[in-house]
C-alpha cells in the first residue's frame, strides 16, 4: 500500500492522503466493509501527523465513502452506498420508481400519482417558505455569507445574527431568536448559543470547513511571493491562519482588517497575492491590478452538516 505523499508538491498533505485512500478504494485494494488502518497506524506509516490523517478520514466520511464505528474503527462503506452518494439522481429515480410501483399496487393511476406528488411538493415548498431559521456566528462577514449559502434555494428564511451583538443586546435579539423554528450555529459556539437562547429553541450545530479549492490555490502560491489577507475581523483572520496551519501550509501572511481606503490601498499595493474574505472581495478587486492574484477564502458546511440541517427541517414539519 505505497501512498505517493509528496511533501513539496504544493498540495496539502491531508488532500494527498484523501486522494490516495480514494484511489485504493477505486482500485479494489480496499473493498466494501474492509477496515482501514487506524489514524495512528497510517500517520506512522506515512510519517505525517495524526491530525492530517484524521482530516482526510473525516472528509471521506462526510462524503459517504467511509464510515466509523465507535470502538471498532473506520470502514469502507458498502459499494451501493458509495455509488448512491455519487449518483443522487439515480437514487432519487429509484425512490420515485418504488413509490410509483407502490401507488399502482394501491390502485392509483399514473396520472393520479403525478397529481398527488405535485400537490405534495407544493405543500412542502409553502411550508419551507414559512420556516424561520436563525444562524448565529461570531463575525459579520461569515454570518452574512452563510445565511445566504445555507438556504439551499429552498425558500427557507435564514436570519443572520452576530454572536457578539446578540450578547451585547440580548433584550433586542432574544425575542427574534426565540420566535424562530430553528437556531443554527457552529460546533465551536454551540454551548454558548444554547445558554443564550435559554433552551427554548432547537439548536443545531454544524461544521464549516475551508473549501478544498481555496486551500489548493493557496498551497500553489510560489515561494517568495508577498501574501496578504484582507478581512473585517481578527476572529476571521485567526480562523484562516489556523486552517492553513492545520492543512500543513507554513507561510508568512500579513493581515489587514482596516476599513480606511488609503490604508487598504497601501496594503494591497504591497502584496503579490491577496487572500480575501467574501465580504471584502469587491473592494480589494477595485484596488488591485491584473498582475496580483486574488484568492477568496471560502468556508462551506460539510456534507454531513447539510444533511443534518435538511433532516432538522423535516423534523420541524412533522411537529
Label the pairing between strands 293-296 and 299-301: unpaired
Per-residue pLDDT tens, the chain, 319 aa: give them: 556 676 665 677 888 888 888 888 877 788 877 889 998 898 888 888 888 888 888 888 877 788 776 667 888 876 544 444 455 667 778 889 999 999 999 999 999 999 999 998 888 777 777 778 888 987 676 677 677 666 555 567 788 898 888 988 988 998 888 888 889 888 778 888 888 887 666 788 887 778 777 888 898 899 899 999 999 888 788 889 988 888 888 889 999 999 999 999 999 999 999 999 877 888 999 999 989 999 999 877 766 677 777 777 766 655 5
In the sheet with 293-296, reading across from the earlier edge strand, the strands are: 253-256, 227-230, 273-276, 293-296
The CA distance from 235 to 29, in Å, is 43
Domain annotation for the chain: domains and CATH numbers: 13-84 (1.10.10.10), 87-127 (no CATH), 131-209+302-318 (3.40.50), 212-297 (3.40.50.1860)
Tell me the whole-structure pTM to 2 decimals: 0.54
CB atoms within 10 A of CB 295: 19
Give the span between the Cα atoms of 84 and 32, in whole angstroms.
14
Angstrom CA distances, 41 to 45, 50, 78, 129, 140, stand at 6, 9, 23, 49, 41
CA-based torsion, 158, 160, 166, 169: positive or negative: negative
What would you measure as the largest C-alpha separation in the chain, in angstroms?
Answer: 73
Q: Residues 55, 64: contact at Cβ < 8 Å?
A: no
Amino acid at each position: 500500500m505505497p501512498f505517493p505523499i509528496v511533501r513539496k508538491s504544493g498540495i496539502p498533505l491531508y488532500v494527498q492522503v484523501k486522494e490516495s485512500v480514494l484511489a485504493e478504494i477505486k482500485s479494489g485494494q480496499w473493498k466494501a466493509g474492509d477496515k482501514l488502518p487506524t489514524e495512528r497506524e497510517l500517520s506512522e506509516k506515512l510519517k505525517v501527523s495524526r491530525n492530517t490523517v484524521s482530516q482526510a478520514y473525516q472528509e471521506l466520511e462526510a462524503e459517504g465513502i467511509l464510515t466509523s464505528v465507535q470502538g471498532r474503527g473506520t470502514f469502507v462503506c458498502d459499494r451501493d452506498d458509495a455509488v448512491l452518494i455519487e449518483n443522487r439522481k439515480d437514487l432519487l429515480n429509484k425512490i420515485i420508481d418504488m413509490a410509483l410501483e407502490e401507488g399502482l399496487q394501491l390502485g392509483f393511476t399514473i396520472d393520479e400519482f403525478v397529481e398527488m406528488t405535485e400537490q405534495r411538493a407544493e405543500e412542502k415548498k409553502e411550508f419551507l417558505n414559512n420556516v424561520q431559521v436563525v444562524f448565529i456566528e461570531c463575525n459579520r462577514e461569515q454570518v452574512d455569507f452563510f445565511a445566504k449559502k445555507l438556504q439551499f434555494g429552498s425558500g427557507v428564511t435564514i436570519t443572520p445574527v452576530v454572536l457578539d451583538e446578540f450578547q451585547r443586546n440580548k433584550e433586542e435579539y432574544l425575542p427574534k431568536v426565540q420566535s424562530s423554528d430553528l437556531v443554527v450555529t457552529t460546533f465551536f459556539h454551540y454551548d454558548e448559543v444554547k445558554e443564550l437562547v435559554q433552551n427554548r429553541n432547537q439548536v443545531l450545530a454544524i461544521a464549516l470547513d475551508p473549501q478544498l479549492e481555496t486551500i489548493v490555490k493557496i498551497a500553489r502560491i510560489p515561494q517568495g511571493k508577498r501574501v496578504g489577507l484582507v478581512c473585517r475581523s481578527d476572529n476571521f483572520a485567526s480562523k484562516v491562519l489556523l486552517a492553513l496551519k492545520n492543512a500543513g501550509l507554513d507561510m508568512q501572511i500579513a493581515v489587514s482588517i482596516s476599513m480606511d481606503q488609503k490604508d487598504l490601498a497601501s496594503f494591497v499595493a504591497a502584496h503579490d497575492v491577496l487572500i480575501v474574505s467574501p465580504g471584502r472581495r469587491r473592494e480589494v478587486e477595485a484596488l488591485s491590478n491584473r498582475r496580483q492574484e486574488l484568492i477568496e477564502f471560502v468556508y462551506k458546511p460539510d456534507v454531513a452538516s447539510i444533511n443534518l440541517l435538511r433532516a432538522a427541517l423535516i423534523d420541524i414539519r412533522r411537529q
